[in-house]
Amino acid sequence: MVFGSSQKAAQLADDVTDVIPVRGRSLMHDAYTRFTRNKAAMGSVIVLGLIVLFVILGPLFAVWSNEEIDWDRMGAIAEQGAPSLENGHYFGLDELGRDLYSRVIQATRTSLLVGLVGAMTALIIGTAYGLVAGYVGGRVDSAMMRFVDILLAIPLTLVIILLLVIAGRSFFMLFVSLDAVGWLTMSRIVRAQTLSLKTREFIEAARAAGVPETTIMIRHILPNLIGVVIVYASLLVPEMILTESFISFLGLGISEPYTSLGKLIAEGAGTMAYGTIWQLLYPLFFYVTIIITMFFIGDGLRDALDPKDR
């Protein structure tokens, strides 16, 4: 009787399995679910998406270009340069009589470009450097990380300023100066994770199976670093924007005819005595909004990709 009952139970279990298939859930699926449940992170994604749409579609509604000067109102900015829908200056005029709406669009585009491209370049360099240092180990690791420690001992802002002063102000040199110091912290994070991963059982099994060292780094260790890299990328973007804004505030950033949010904020702060508050308010609003949303997104990604929260 017991044997027959066991057979029936096994048959019932097989029937249930056939009717209701069991599907596994990957780490990325769980991370996506947790991230979408984070209201602050999802709200930040929506707000940042609206800013990106403003940068893309905003020029379609612009009456004036970012370099065009309204000569009729240039002499009385404080009285006639305020925001107005009638004359097409939605955000008002700057101190030279240029349309602030078009300039804010260009500045937001520049700041986002600096943050995204600078962060991606720094992540590629830092990930590759830290992966090699952590996996090879020994004297190679010691020499590579001592070089990083020396660079980190120097004030990073000072390095960026010196590079811009010596090589000149340009888009290219701005990216070079930001990436010259932006990859250092990432390399230390990746190196620490690699040191932990290379002693795991699946890495030892790959070595025993004769898998080449380069293949182990690329196909076995690197995919396990994606979570850390994504989280740090979301935090590195606002860091890049903050650094560029500080450099532009000092007058060493992007030169005319281009502009950035940091440069517009510096110009607006210099004209506050004349009562032109809109010159500071609008670029500052976009600047603060981008920084806050990026930090909320970074916190959401960190919580979503943390395996301890599964």
- pLDDT greater at residue 11 or residue 216: 216
Domain map (residue ranges) of the chain: 26-309
**What is the tens place of the pLDDT at every residue in 106-144?**
999 988 888 888 888 888 898 999 999 988 888 998 999
The set of residues, in sequence order, having a beta carbon less than 8 Å from that of 186 and lying 6+ positions away, is 122, 123, 125, 126, 127, 130, 229, 232, 236
- pLDDT greater at residue 20 or residue 166: 166
> Residues 220, 203: contact at Cβ < 8 Å?
yes
Q: Token pair for residue 165?
A: 């002063």
Confidence of residue 23 (pLDDT cuts 50, 70, 90): low
- Short-list 227, 204, 225, CA closest to 301: 227
- pLDDT greater at residue 164 or residue 185: 185
pLDDT at 65 over 60: yes
Each as own residue / partner, the long-range contacts of residues 252-257 (CB below 8 Å, 24 or more positions apart, any chain) are: 252/161, 252/164, 252/165, 252/169, 253/164, 253/169, 253/174, 254/110, 254/169, 254/171, 254/174, 255/169, 255/170, 257/66, 257/67
Topology classification of domain 26-309: MetI-like fold (1.10.3720)
Confidence of residue 79 (pLDDT cuts 50, 70, 90): low
Q: Using a cut of 0.95, tell me whether the model's pTM lies above it.
A: no
